[in-house]
Structure 1
């Protein structure tokens, strides 16, 4: 079973065992009633969730007091991979560590992270470069991302 990161438990919320969760996925179903997640090393089941300032207030089964949440605050939330029928879908776990090359074969570094950005999420490279995902033209789960960027994007780094 493959588990993918879908969010993080940020902090407790109130006194009734609810927590604030930041999703790292666009799949709101991950915090829907009945959703099963893994928080750290334990399985949790969503009882209810409510959107709250770009995050979610979530109640998990078995967590009825603020003290109950201590075990999962700060935990990464993971969930089973769902079958994806879109062959062009980009998954963060496939991008991190991948080599980024331009269409002409010029290597530009490796992806260290994917940074959220309102216009387009960014590939954060180990060279310090930031590449908008809109410029990705090909990717393979084997660890290669081909980008077609505007002239000059890498010039400042090449110095």
Structure 2
């Protein structure tokens, strides 16, 4: 099984540099000059990293095989992947392992179902489809997602008031002193 490290984004400049959307907590170890990474689709690679830089929180990569803007445009959307056995990231899950899990409170109250995982610059977001059809985005951080239990088919959530539809401050323990 393959683990996605990053997805190639837009071309940056005229000489083949691209932005990448990270799917790893350790990009400085995964995106190393000289490293050849497999791709999905496989026909697009492998791609060998020539250089890596960050600017304003974004990561930019240049590959030996991509030397023009047209080449960079051609690899947009390609995923850089590694064998899952090579992953040494703690608490790392595949998106397909999370999708379909029941989202519950610590007391077992069902809040909905995980339907997606979005990778954002600050942190990943779990997308939860609630019974009323509302889609809530919960930051995938330990404070709000203290437990993922793949075997039990659940992800425990402790989101702050306001992230889920139809809740009251009392339900989240965030009452702010009554008058």
Normalising by the smaller structure, the TM-score range is: 0.7 to 0.9
Pick the structure with more strand per residue.
1
Correspondence for 1:54 among 51, 57, 81: 57
Task: Answer yes or no: is the 8 Å Cα contact 2:112–2:128 preserved in 1.
Answer: yes
Task: Answer yes or no: is the 8 Å Cα contact 2:161–2:167 preserved in 1.
Answer: no
SS at match of 1:69: helix
Task: Answer yes or no: is the 8 Å Cα contact 2:40–2:78 preserved in 1.
Answer: yes
SS at match of 1:139: strand
- The match for 2:176 is none
Shift of 1:50: 0.9
Shift of 1:107: 1.6
- The match for 2:113 is 110
- CA distance 1:149–1:45, change in 2 (3 Å): same
Of 53-62 and 32-41, more deviation after overlay is shown by 32-41
SS at match of 2:46: strand
1-structure distance, mates of 2:40, 2:165: 42
2-structure distance, mates of 1:65, 1:49: 16
- The match for 1:137 is 146
RMSD: 2.9
Question: Matches of residues 28-67 of structure 1 in structure 2 within 5 Å?
Answer: 28=27, 29-41=29-41, 42-67=45-70
2-structure distance, mates of 1:117, 1:54: 7
Greater radius of gyration (CA):
2
- The match for 2:172 is none
Count the aligned residue pairs.
154
2-structure distance, mates of 1:80, 1:46: 17
Matched, 1:91 2:93: yes
Task: Answer yes or no: is the 8 Å Cα contact 2:25–2:89 preserved in 1.
Answer: no
TM-score (norm 1): 0.75
The answer for unaligned runs of 5 or more in structure 2 is 169-179
- CA distance 1:129–1:14, change in 2 (3 Å): closer
Question: Matches of residues 116-127 of structure 1 in structure 2 within 5 Å?
Answer: 116=120, 118=122, 121-127=124-130
2-structure distance, mates of 1:95, 1:15: 38
2-structure distance, mates of 1:153, 1:13: 35
